[in-house]
Amino acid sequence: MSTELTKRRESLMKAESRQKLLAFSSLLVMIIIFSLASPNFATFSNFVGILLSTAVVGILATGVTFIIITGGIDLSIGTVMTFCSVIAGVMITFWGLPVWVGVIGAVLSGMMAGLINGLLISKLRLPAFIATLGMQMIAAGLNLVISGSRPIYFLHEPRFRLIAMGTLFGIPYSVFLFFGLAIVASIVLGRTVFGRYTYSIGSNEEATRLSGINVDRWKIGVYVLGGFFYGVAGVVMASRLNSAQPALGVGYELEAIAAVVIGGASLSGGSGTILGTIIGAFIMSVLTNGLRILSIPQEWQTVVIGSIVILAVYTDIIRRRKD
């Protein structure tokens, strides 16, 4: 029995690394094709642009990866992110508080939204889809109410803009922040008890509960962690635009979820990695960037990205069927 077992395991491991390889190599192929197609693609400044534009979605996607691995979903990502930008704007511009206080306030409000999501889902047993859809709309409304439906500019605080746009070796800080957070998230997911229970809840929640684990508490933790990432993304976003744009937000949740799914996570839970999510986020931003450089109209860019999501998930299904 055990030899047969090991064989199956080997083939499975091969399949798993094959998938990562597939995603990564399609990213490389894309980069090569765009480089050949346009001299404007493979330039330092364009690469920096890609990195910068991946940072926000990448941070959001990293946060929601945990949630998706537990078998949950979060539709409030985009508007909660904006909510955090608005809070930063209120604290820094309206109240004149120091930048660091505004940043902490923004991140804490993201975590607070996550906490509410988590409580609704675990304690009141609302489906995650519904709870976070509600949160999406609540946050969207609050953004307009709090800001008076007008953008809040950070004109008095030039240092705020440095968070995203200040550079080291020509690379913006926000890119370092993104990679730093991704590495930490990867360790948390792969090596800690928190990560283990994230997978375990997504794979079989009941079994996890019966093993004596307080599933509710860990689930809430996962949503709070997600909120932390949305808060950071909100700060980066506001800093990049040098303003909190209250009408922004809807649409980001789907981009973030798409990145996670392209990266190989299953919406039914139990599988997914941070590395996969990052590759997924880059596939989307490289594609958007490349198509724009090739002067393909923006409307068509969305069509292409939608097709890529379907294609990515379909190849994953085929791969699983073969095993």
* Cα 174–Cα 176–Cα 182 angle in degrees, nearest 5: 100
Number of residues that bind another protein (CB under 8 A): 29
Residue count of the chain:
323
For the bound state, the minimum distance from the C-beta of residue 278 to another protein, rounded and expressed in Å, comes to 21
For the bound state, the minimum distance from the C-beta of residue 194 to another protein, rounded and expressed in Å, comes to 7
For the bound state, the minimum distance from the C-beta of residue 183 to another protein, rounded and expressed in Å, comes to 15
Binding mask 14-43 for another protein (x = CB under 8 A): ------------------------------
Distance (Å, rounded) from C-alpha 258 to C-alpha 253? 8
Which residues inside 113-172 make contact with another protein, applying CB under 8 A? none
Maximum alpha-carbon separation in the chain: 70
| Identity of the amino acid at 56 | V
For the bound state, the minimum distance from the C-beta of residue 100 to another protein, rounded and expressed in Å, comes to 26
83 vs 197 by CB, closer to another protein: 197
| Identity of the amino acid at 208 | T
DSSP state of 256: H
For the bound state, the minimum distance from the C-beta of residue 103 to another protein, rounded and expressed in Å, comes to 25
* Cα 77–Cα 83–Cα 86 angle in degrees, nearest 5: 145
For the bound state, the minimum distance from the C-beta of residue 9 to another protein, rounded and expressed in Å, comes to 5
Residues 6+ apart with CB under 8 A from 201: 70, 71, 208, 215, 218, 219, 222, 269
- Which of 12, 29, 33, 42 touches another protein (CB under 8 A)? 12
For the bound state, the minimum distance from the C-beta of residue 272 to another protein, rounded and expressed in Å, comes to 10
CB 218 within 8 A of CB 69: no
For the bound state, the minimum distance from the C-beta of residue 317 to another protein, rounded and expressed in Å, comes to 16
159 vs 217 by CB, closer to another protein: 217
Distance (Å, rounded) from C-alpha 43 to C-alpha 240? 21
Q: Does 208 contact another protein by CB under 8 A?
A: yes
Distance (Å, rounded) from C-alpha 129 to C-alpha 266? 16
12 vs 145 by CB, closer to another protein: 12
Q: Does 212 contact another protein by CB under 8 A?
A: yes
Q: Does 317 contact another protein by CB under 8 A?
A: no
Cα-Cα-Cα-Cα torsion 72, 77, 80, 84, nearest 10 degrees, comes to 120
240: tokens are: 């990049």
CB 174 within 8 A of CB 239: yes
Distance (Å, rounded) from C-alpha 224 to C-alpha 67? 10
For the bound state, the minimum distance from the C-beta of residue 174 to another protein, rounded and expressed in Å, comes to 27
- Which of 20, 161, 209, 292 touches another protein (CB under 8 A)? 209
Residues 6+ apart with CB under 8 A from 269: 68, 69, 70, 71, 72, 201, 202, 203
134 vs 270 by CB, closer to another protein: 270
206 vs 299 by CB, closer to another protein: 206
Which residues inside 175-204 make contact with another protein, applying CB under 8 A? 191-196, 199-200, 202-204
Binding mask 219-258 for another protein (x = CB under 8 A): ----------------------------------------
Q: Does 318 contact another protein by CB under 8 A?
A: no
Q: Does 271 contact another protein by CB under 8 A?
A: yes
CB 71 within 8 A of CB 205: yes
Contact residues: another protein, CB under 8 A = 1-2, 5-6, 8-9, 12, 191-196, 199-200, 202-204, 206-214, 270-271
